[in-house]
Amino acid sequence: MSMELKTVHGVCFLSSGLLEQADGVAHGFSTRQGGVSAPPFDTMDLGYNRGDDPACVRENYCRFCTAIGADHARVVKTRQVHKDTVRCVTAADAGLDPCTPAPYEADGLVTDVPGLCLSVFSADCVPVLLYDPVRRCVAAVHSGWRGTARSIASKAAAIMVDNYGCRAEHILAAIGPAISTCCFETHADVPRAMLDAFGDEAEAFIKRVGDDRFRVDLKGIIAHGLITAGIAPEHIDISDHCTACRTDLYWSHRLTGNARGSMAAMIQLTGA
């Protein structure tokens, strides 16, 4: 399958063909385009803590959720801290104002409750959406390099299996737009973390480009971890969009620092 840019009601977003062909789920990865925010947040800013006008952020939520077929009034979000905590959520977690911080810290959300719109935020880090169409369970994960080293996406899949009765071979995964190998240049701390976590298996995703400079393929490492967790390679959709290359479409923290908005990746079980 492949990722496809779509525009619905003027809102541009990225959609996974793999998830789209599965019944019973709404999803999307937002871009910068289609919202109402003024510079430097122009235009589709979904971040609650960037300094944007709250009225604009609320309207952006409405527009984006409507475009992907999700319910903006039942969004579930979290305060992301670049760790590996995955929270199982229920209807009690929904309905928080888009501009109000979530009352808990986590970098992943899982539910089997229809109508809850799980949301994670990014601006170079890797967003991952998971869906089991058989058991009807979804997860949304924010995986920066620290979360990737801690295998947070694989841990979310394991929670789907252990807590919700999913089977790994049924799970579909969509790895969204993020900074890619072409632009993710780091010092030795990042590859060291990957080698410590995954051993020699990480070497295929690390390229030395200088004495103390490396390029790391976070998306590839995440996909490898999901395959190791039992998800079939053909059930993994990976976006080839690099947020640092495509600043016309995406926010890149590396390039703009804090003078930016945030993208969101959302997924919601539809129907009863």
pLDDT digit string (tens) for the chain, length 272 residues? 589 999 999 999 999 999 999 999 999 999 999 999 999 999 999 998 888 999 999 999 999 999 999 999 999 999 999 999 999 999 999 999 999 989 999 999 999 999 999 999 999 999 999 999 999 999 999 999 999 999 999 999 999 999 999 999 999 999 999 999 999 999 999 999 999 999 999 999 999 998 899 999 999 999 999 999 999 999 999 999 999 999 999 999 888 877 799 999 999 999 86
* 142: its two tokens: 């924010």
Domain boundaries defined on the chain: 3-269
- Cβ distance 107 to 143 under 8 Å? yes
pLDDT at residue 156, as a whole number: 98
Rounded distance, CA 235 to CA 265, Å?
18
- Cβ distance 175 to 157 under 8 Å? no
pTM, rounded to two decimals = 0.97
Close Cβ partners of 256 (under 8 Å, ≥ 6 residues apart): 40, 247
- Cβ distance 185 to 213 under 8 Å? yes
Rounded distance, CA 185 to CA 260, Å?
21
Rounded distance, CA 59 to CA 36, Å?
7
Rounded distance, CA 55 to CA 89, Å?
27
CATH code for the part of the protein at 3-269: 3.60.140.10
Which strands form 25-30's sheet, in the order they lie side by side?
3-8, 11-16, 25-30, 263-269, 117-122, 75-76
